[in-house]
A and B are shown apart, each in its own frame.
Chain A
Amino acid sequence: MYTKRLGRVGVVLVVFLISALLLTFWSSSTSTSKTGAYTAQPTDYTIHTTEDWPTYIDPAVGNDFSDSIALLNLYDSLVFPTVQGTVKPSLAVKWGLSKNGLVYTFTLRHGVKFHNGDELTGEDVAFSMERLLTIKQGFAYLFSPYVKNAKATGKYTVVITLKKSFGPFISALPRLYILNKRTVMAHIVKPGTYGAFGDYATKWLLTHDAGSGPYTVQKYNVISDLLAAKFAKYWGGWSPNAPNFFEESASSQPASEYAAFATRDLDITDELLPLETYQSMAKLTGATVVTFLNGHNLNIMLHTKKPPTDDVHFRKALAYVFDYNAVISSIYPGSVQSKGPVPATLLGFDPNLFHYHTNLQKAKAELAQSKYANKLDQYPVTLSWCAEAPAEEKVALLFQANAAEIGIKVQITKKPFGSMEADATNIKTTPNASIVFVAPDYPEAGAMLSVRYSSASAGSWEQCEWLQNSAIDKMINDALATADQAARLKKYYAIQAKIVDLCPTIWVMDQAEKRAYQSAYVDWPVGDAIKAGKTAVGSSVMGYNLYAHDMKVYPQKRAELLSGS
């Protein structure tokens, strides 16, 4: 009977499928049961972390969190930021400033090698500054307004001349990453946007590095993954258990990250996971979740040029009705309510600043004074939150529920960061309210004030307020031009007071960054300080807590964990 034969074909096909699955099952169970004498492979000394994507590793292009992590591991800068908010010598061993506050002279370390073996000289430093200023992307905005030029005056000396005085210049310098001039020049493609310099090797540097940092690009996958290998001849030397590889890959579904962490494929998680995921991770053997104030803050940015948030009383009503305690107790435990625009860990923060607190009466009083008081229905507040940071949804819902208490309607949209960025570029498409985390580029109040509230930054994801206030612009410029630190800090105080009075933002909290890490087999300075009971403060400079050179890995302990579980 043919039907029987057909039936047999069916049976064979189904058996084939099932056995393929079973084979997989068997093979993976056998591969994990090989315990016995464990010998660590070089690739076992890897630190794997995740961060939001895309990540641009060209020092003249990258400037977000994930870019910063990659850049600081691949490249060196003249100075290196400390946890205390100051800087320490790195490529530059010493420096001096001219009396007029405009000319910096740096003396470079001798014998620093680039990844290709070339020695790093003043020429390379000057070239890197010129390249950054010409391409105008990445962290160029930190230097473009101030730097006139950079010149090598000797093999180991370089002079950077400013157009106008910039007090925090040295604090900003970690963001100048030094490239090998010879390598860059060799990979230039002509013709390109930059005349004689063709494309300035932007195409090549998208997937390669030309640095002297502790790690060098091994494999770069533009949409998902950066694998960097230890540079054996790094001038800073290596400790015995330092990671051989540093891997940064794209954040994914929390469930996938949890699984990767539970199977010890992932060593340090990103900071974007929901609280519940960290809580589950903390329950794993040998895992620790660390919480530290990192100088970032969470803002609900209010569009000051779009009804109804263009009315200061309306904004104050929102600031008074918002339930700050719910955020720090239920959404981001460990964080603290922000006092104004500057995170408390930054130099120049004013501890005596007035701050808004939850008060329904005051909220109602402010709303009554606003011109939209009687037509709330016609003026709903639009709000966007960032899809890559799932916990922000709770903030959005909380804001919506709070606003409803005084009759204000809020329309919430979940947006990928890229779309929020795009919306922010136009005064018409920017929503009334945007939930955004902001990190300072250098550890001083000025970094936060200028990037958040000066007119130059309006229309960026870091300023969805469109404040455009010329008085504040003047004050910020004046403060930044002040070379004397004490005087500069005083001026920061005045700016903060003025901004708080305008209430362009609901300053939700100073973030306590949470990351889970494999404390059983990874030494991580930030985590270890916390385990030792020290103050939970990380570097306030975005990315610098993930400097792999200072970490240590113990593959033997990892193997024990895996065989034990």
Chain B
Amino acid sequence: MEIFLDSIKNSIYKFSRNKVSIIGFFMVAMVIIVAIFAPLLAPYPKAAGAFIDFSNASKPPSRAHFFGTDVVGRDILSRVMFAFRGALIMGLGVIAAIVPFGVLVGLFAGYYYGTWIDTVVMRITDIFVTLPALLLALAVASFGRPSLFNSMMAVAFAWWPFYARLTYSMASSVRNETFVKAAQTIGAHKAHIIFKEILPNCLAPIFTKMALEIGWVILVGATLSFVGLGEQPPTAALGTMVSDGAQYLPAQWWISLFPALAICFMILAFNLLGDGVKSMLSTEVL
């Protein structure tokens, strides 16, 4: 128990040694808090939905509206706060959906290294990685009614093979380690070997990849909504806000600029946090 606590303390120390990752941690925490408590924190919660106030339309940033208002008079700050929700759901949801699946596929293919299962599964992932994930997601997202869920499915569809491949490469080397051989010799069950012996030894790089990639997923999600394939109005989505606001450039620059900055802020936050996790875990693996 003490060793366990020590290792946690050690991790926290390693994480906190990196100032940048501490900044990232607080930025992420801020985004999450704002997203969860958006209805309480947003100055104009009504602006998140079907709301129109032409008398306040296209107002530049002011004390009443820090980020200004959009062309139908909605407070952009409030909409950005609500839009964090969709972006978080996109980033965390996609990762949460594809990691178990990808890891499972990779583990099995790795365990059955050299058999036909390995060949078939890994050739299939090869096919997926011959296209940039963004492109595959764009193509898939265009089928069916555009929505947050559909765009998440599209991103997940394009992204899972990367986890399968990472886990596969880890698993296929771990399976030759003596402790795995030993477990096999004493007749341990396959499931035991895969989940209790091999999986724990693959976790560090998987967690690192997850932490590093949430930002990427958010970026791809924002790109999908930028071309109109994401969350639909009136629900606020950052990519959509940028593309709709871009129509009013250069005069009403605030309509697209602040959502664009919000996207950058979010991605930056997760990238910084990811770097922290990376430096925390990279030495743990050994």
Contacts and interface: CB of A to CB of B under 8 A. Distances in A.
Q: Do A and B bind each other?
A: yes
B246 A255 contact: yes
B40 interface: no
A254 B52 contact: no
A413 B232 contact: yes
B71 interface: yes
Interface string A409-439: 0111111100000000000000000000000
Interface stretch (B112-120, B247-255, B258-266): B247-255
Given A274-B71, A396-B233, A412-B233, A326 B54 contact: yes
B50 A277 contact: no
A429 to B, nearest CB: 9
A279 B185 CA distance: 80
A283 B56 CA distance: 22
Residues of A in contact with B, size category: 20 to 34
Interface string A276-295: 11011000000000000000
A394 B72 contact: yes
A330 to B, nearest CB: 4
A250 to B, nearest CB: 15
B140 to A, nearest CB: 15
A258 interface: yes
Contacts of A561: none
Contacts of B271: none
Contact of B247 (A255, A396, A401): A255
Given A412-B234, A413-B232, A280 B251 contact: yes
A401 B51 contact: yes
Question: Is chain A's binding surface mostly helix, strand, loop or mixed?
Answer: helix
Nearest to A419: B142
A393 B244 contact: yes
A396 B233 CA distance: 9
A390 B234 contact: no
Contacts of A394: 52, 71-72
Contact of A397 (B145, B233, B246, B248): B233
Contacts, number: 71
Nearest to B233: A412
A397 B52 CA distance: 7
A387 interface: yes
Nearest to B249: A255
B250 to A, nearest CB: 6
A283 B119 CA distance: 66
A401 B47 CA distance: 11
B251 A276 contact: yes
B72 A277 contact: no
A416 B228 contact: yes
A401 B50 CA distance: 5
Contact of B145 (A274, A277, A398, A413): A413
Interface in B35-52: 50-52
Contact of A401 (B52, B57, B232, B251): B52
A329 B57 CA distance: 13
Residues of B in contact with A, size category: 20 to 34
Contacts of A330: 54, 57
A398 B72 CA distance: 9
A400 interface: yes
A42 to B, nearest CB: 33
A404 interface: yes
Contact of A414 (B57, B58, B228, B252): B228
Contacts of A401: 50-52
A329 B51 CA distance: 17
A387 B225 CA distance: 13
A159 B122 CA distance: 70
B228 A276 contact: no
Contacts of A258: 249-250
B216 to A, nearest CB: 25
Given A276-B71, A393-B233, A400-B234, A387 B228 contact: yes
Contacts of B249: 253-255, 258
Given A326-B54, A412-B234, A416-B228, A255 B72 contact: no
Interface in B140-172: 145-146
B247 A277 contact: yes
Nearest to A276: B248
Nearest to A431: B145
A412 B51 CA distance: 13
A254 B255 CA distance: 14
Contacts of B234: 397, 400, 412
A274 B250 CA distance: 13
Contacts of A414: 146, 228, 232-233, 240
A411 B57 CA distance: 22
A62 to B, nearest CB: 25
A116 B207 CA distance: 70
A35 B206 CA distance: 63
Interface in B225-282: 228, 232-234, 240, 244, 246-252
Contacts of B72: 394, 397-398
Nearest to A253: B246
Question: 6 closest pairs, A vs B, by CB?
Answer: A255-B249, A330-B54, A400-B50, A254-B247, A401-B52, A390-B247
Interface of A: 253-255, 258, 273-274, 276-277, 279-280, 326, 329-330, 387, 390, 393-394, 396-398, 400-401, 404, 410-416
Given A277-B248, A412-B232, 18 more contacts: A254-B246, A254-B248, A255-B249, A258-B250, A276-B252, A280-B251, A393-B233, A394-B72, A396-B233, A397-B50, A397-B51, A397-B234, A411-B232, A413-B146, A413-B232, A414-B146, A414-B232, A414-B240
8 contacts: A255-B247, A274-B247, A387-B228, A390-B247, A394-B71, A396-B233, A413-B145, A414-B146
